[in-house]
Amino acid sequence: MPRPIPSDRRVAPGVDRLGDDVVNFYLVQEPDGLVLVDAGLPAHLKQLREHLADSGRSLTDIRAVLLTHGHPDHTGLAHALQQAGADIWIHGSDAAILHDGPRSALRHAKPERSALPYLLRRPTALATPLHLARTGAFTAPATPGVRAFDTDRQLDEVPGKPRAVPLPGHTPGSTGYLFPQRGLLFTGDALVTHDGLTGHTGPTLVCRGFTHDSRTALTSLDRIDELTETTLLLPGHGHPLTGDPRTATRQARQTGLR
């Protein structure tokens, strides 16, 4: 008999938050199949297998993986899930990171600033890159043959027919995924509620040490404001946020670019 989903994992009806204290990824149950939004870290494979097994499912039941961007803490299981039969979706501007492997992220989406000054000001922030290294983020296999898109569009081939909403800045291909009938917007790192380098908690942009173009990222908050169907924001880092997304984007603007 399937075991009940732990209360801290179920963030909305049919939506479970997986990952760890550093990074989130999400399992979405639709009547026509399972969807994973982002793909965590390679070390999360055991957690995902066990979570699926609790409801009598396996990796082969995941039909699609929607990647919010190409950074290695969001793509770690993409290769394994592709091998299991899932379609991997990502914006075309970040597809090269998947093709070339996780170490290419700094080449294809170079951050505006070095992470070193952040680490010098806040040495405890070193725990984040160390965690990523220990959990295989930088050694995951490349994932060629992804399904790429370049514009705002509804993904009719994906269970639930979510809408891909480009939110560039954090990386050139950063994208949110809107499930309008559910009121869900998965923001990836276009808007988060925890920044591992600065330690900031609450709605914010990811700092320049991990962001490719912070001015463009700031402009993408305007796009989130337009998505009035949204009642729950599900970020790549930190806790989900309920209510009017414009409240969250206003707070992120007030926090400013770090």
CATH numbers and ranges of domains, the chain: 10-255 (3.60.15.10)
- Read off the pLDDT band of 248 (50, 70, 90): very high
What local confidence, expressed as pLDDT, does residue 8 receive?
A: 75
At residue 103, the 3 state secondary structure works out as: helix
- Read off the pLDDT band of 2 (50, 70, 90): very low
What local confidence, expressed as pLDDT, does residue 100 receive?
A: 97
Q: What is the mean pLDDT of the chain?
A: 95
Span 242-256, mean pLDDT? 95
CB 25 within 8 A of CB 19: yes
Can you tell me the distance from the alpha carbon of 46 to that of 51, in angstroms, rounded to the nearest whole number? Answer: 9
pLDDT at 7 over 70: no
Span 71-96, mean pLDDT? 98
CB 24 within 8 A of CB 17: yes
What local confidence, expressed as pLDDT, does residue 239 receive?
A: 97
What local confidence, expressed as pLDDT, does residue 102 receive?
A: 97
Span 142-161, mean pLDDT? 97
pLDDT at 214 over 80: yes
Mutual orientation of helices 214-225 and 245-255 as an angle, nearest 10°?
Answer: 160
Element (H, E) at 51: helix 45-53
| DSSP string covering 182-228 | TTEEEEETSSEEE-TTT--EEEEPPPTTT-S-HHHHHHHHHHHHT-T
Can you tell me the distance from the alpha carbon of 51 to that of 16, in angstroms, rounded to the nearest whole number? Answer: 9
- 95 φψ region: left (φ > 0), alpha (ψ -120 to 50), beta (else): alpha
Can you tell me the distance from the alpha carbon of 105 to that of 96, in angstroms, rounded to the nearest whole number? Answer: 9
- Read off the pLDDT band of 257 (50, 70, 90): confident
pLDDT at 5 over 60: no
Torsion angles phi and psi, residue 232, rounded to 5: -145, 120
pLDDT above 90: percentage of residues in the chain: 96
pLDDT at 143 over 90: yes
Can you tell me the distance from the alpha carbon of 225 to that of 81, in angstroms, rounded to the nearest whole number? Answer: 32
Span 88-92, mean pLDDT? 98
CB 44 within 8 A of CB 80: no
Burial class (CB in 10 A: 0-12, 13-18, 19+), 136: middle
pLDDT above 70: percentage of residues in the chain: 97
What local confidence, expressed as pLDDT, does residue 6 receive?
A: 57
